[in-house]
Structure 1
């Protein structure tokens, strides 16, 4: 009875009925995404953190004050093995949010069940939320069902570092795909250079350069500008530029990228592109993305 009174007082009985996906669109597709326990995961990869933070308008550190498990008729569609919760949390720190945030926030969360059909202890847990403002004051919507992660000191530091990189001057643009590739053979066997242009969301120029010299390992670099200068280097793993490349570029050079090259130059460009992909390594995502 107390739960029903609280929800009715907040005007949320209609919100958590069958109409709830319209108010909380992040949960409308919850069956297509992976949900995670807020306390069990503390080892998200760098790519996971950037995936969550990249387009999130609101990131906050909160302490869960209260949870209310919704009845099946209130919860709507919930993924198997999960329980939909109505969560009240006190904001202990705003990490991102130009419009600010209320000191007490409420949101819906699909908590995974353990082997006994129970949810992990959440009350008083400190978590980081990746969210957007909801339809009423104090309401927020998680951007994904797993957009609640443990607020360990390490995770807080990593989230802050990622957000700082995302808004830093001259931050690497989002990569949409590959443009044209060009290859020039050298004057001696085993010498040559390939340049591959990338398509970016904001139109800023980004290109890859792979240089081969006889008796040396191939050298590659990335340029964020019109000119590939001598200071250009390959990105360090675990940086935003590395993420933009490793998590976006296709495994092989598509035919359209080498359509203007001779057969021999196209083969050389594909081999040089393979050097880049091998050096970047796997993206390292551990969570599903929509």
Structure 2
């Protein structure tokens, strides 16, 4: 294939490229709460965790060849973006145990410039978040744009996330709030609220908020069957923080508040809001 300066589209000369374009559409990311814009343009902890969590393979690769697909071969591409067919050389398998070859092929959506041209990625090193494709040498990105330009600092930030995700005691994914019950104590101003969260079946998660007279409320997360009053909030930019901050609803669902009297229901809602405020926002820079 002959490259010309700033090509707008290519007709792929490789049968493998045509097959990949026709049969391998990038998978969409899982539904997530609305992103909170982050300061700065680089990927946040949540951005990296969003990509790493569903990925079977995290690959460092060098781009060898790229081709911008014609619009008819690139359905569902958002405005201002184009879909590239990319051939790359594997530099390293950062995470995953599926076999991959030295040469890989994939599709990725990239922003176009004002002339409708994609970035020139040849010889650039990238990090890919992917699953094995349908044919040897093919991979499927976990999201249309699940490709990041590699840098040593970026890989250094990514590796602890991958280590947490692969740990035997990794915090499970939170999918919602099951039940919240607030119970008053024996003294005025004393209460305990327990929140039981839904997960993807990997294990229980509960949050406890304890209030005592003349003391600031304390809360913590338990990742076992035992509700632990000694549990503490997760540290920011950890997998446990990500599971709570990025997937806990903004407000307590009314159907999850199982307290019977109005006072206890109000306390449960207040404690949920307290936890939500304490855990903080989940900033993301990726759209």
What do the CA deviations read for 1:230-257 (whole angstroms, capped 9, x no partner)? 5411101111111111111112222222
Structure 2 partner of 1:261: 260
Q: Unpaired runs of 5+ in structure 1?
A: 33-40
Structure 2 partner of 1:38: none
Which consecutive aligned stretches of 4+ in structure 1 deviate over 6 angstroms post-superposition?
none
- 1:12 maps to 2:25: no
Report the CA distance shift for 1:72/1:227 in structure 2 as closer, same or farther (over 3 A).
closer
TM-score of the superposed pair, with normalisation by structure 1: 0.85
Structure 2 partner of 1:236: 235
CA drift at 1:78 = 4.0
Contact 2:257 2:265 in 1 (8 A): yes
What do the CA deviations read for 1:16-49 (whole angstroms, capped 9, x no partner)? 3xxx1xx11316x79x9xxxxxxxx961111111
- Structure 1 segment 153-168 matched on structure 2, within 5 A: 153-168=152-167
CA drift at 1:79 = 3.5
Report the CA distance shift for 1:100/1:272 in structure 2 as closer, same or farther (over 3 A).
same
Structure 1 partner of 2:182: 183
Report the CA distance shift for 1:107/1:230 in structure 2 as closer, same or farther (over 3 A).
same
- Structure 1 segment 15-34 matched on structure 2, within 5 A: 15-16=20-21, 20=22, 23-26=23-26
Matched residues, number: 273
- 1:63 maps to 2:68: no
What do the CA deviations read for 1:156-176 (whole angstroms, capped 9, x no partner)? 122221111011121111112
- Residue 51 of structure 1 aligns to a residue whose secondary structure is helix
Structure 2 partner of 1:248: 247
What do the CA deviations read for 1:43-89 (whole angstroms, capped 9, x no partner)? 11111111111111111001111222334455556433233322111
- Residue 137 of structure 2 aligns to a residue whose secondary structure is coil
Structure 1 partner of 2:145: 146
Structure 1 partner of 2:7: none
TM-score of the superposed pair, with normalisation by structure 2: 0.85
- 1:222 maps to 2:221: yes
CA distance in 1, matches of 2:124, 2:284: 25
CA distance in 2, matches of 1:275, 1:72: 48
CA distance in 2, matches of 1:248, 1:143: 19
Report the CA distance shift for 1:74/1:196 in structure 2 as closer, same or farther (over 3 A).
closer
- Residue 93 of structure 1 aligns to a residue whose secondary structure is strand
CA distance in 1, matches of 2:163, 2:57: 14
Contact 1:42 1:155 in 2 (8 A): no
